[in-house]
Chains A and B, each alone.
Chain A
Amino acid sequence: GENVEQHPSTLSVQEGDSAVIKCTYSDSASNYFPWYKQELGKRPQLIIDIRSNVGEKKDQRIAVTLNKTAKHFSLHITETQPEDSAVYFCAASSTGTASKLTFGTGTRLQVTL
Chain B
Amino acid sequence: DAEITQSPRHKITETGRQVTLACHQTWNHNNMFWYRQDLGHGLRLIHYSYGVQDTNKGEVSDGYSVSRSNTEDLPLTLESAASSQTSVYFCASSESLQGPGGPQHFGDGTRLSIL
Contact = CB atoms under 8 A, between A and B. Distances in A.
B25 interface: no
Interface stretch (A13-21, A39-47, A55-63, A70-78): A39-47
B97 to A, nearest CB: 6
Interface in B83-115: 90, 94, 96-109
A93 B31 CA distance: 14
B43 A103 contact: yes
A103 B106 CA distance: 14
Interface residues of B, number: 28
Given A42-B108, A43-B106, A43-B107, A98 B99 contact: yes
Contacts of A104: 42
A99 interface: yes
Contact of B45 (A45, A51, A100, A105): A100
A44 B106 contact: yes
Contacts of B107: 43
B100 A31 contact: yes
B1 interface: no
A89 interface: yes
A27 to B, nearest CB: 12
Contacts of B100: 31-32, 51-52, 93-95, 98
Contacts of B103: 34, 46, 49
A1 B109 contact: no
A101 interface: yes
Nearest to A52: B100
Given A42-B108, A100-B33, 14 more contacts: A6-B42, A32-B100, A32-B101, A43-B108, A89-B42, A93-B101, A95-B99, A95-B101, A98-B98, A98-B101, A99-B31, A99-B97, A100-B48, A102-B45
Interface of B: 31, 33, 35, 40-45, 48, 50, 59, 90, 94, 96-109
18 contacts: A31-B100, A32-B100, A43-B106, A43-B108, A46-B103, A49-B103, A93-B100, A94-B100, A95-B99, A99-B97, A99-B101, A99-B104, A100-B48, A100-B101, A101-B104, A104-B42, A105-B42, A106-B42
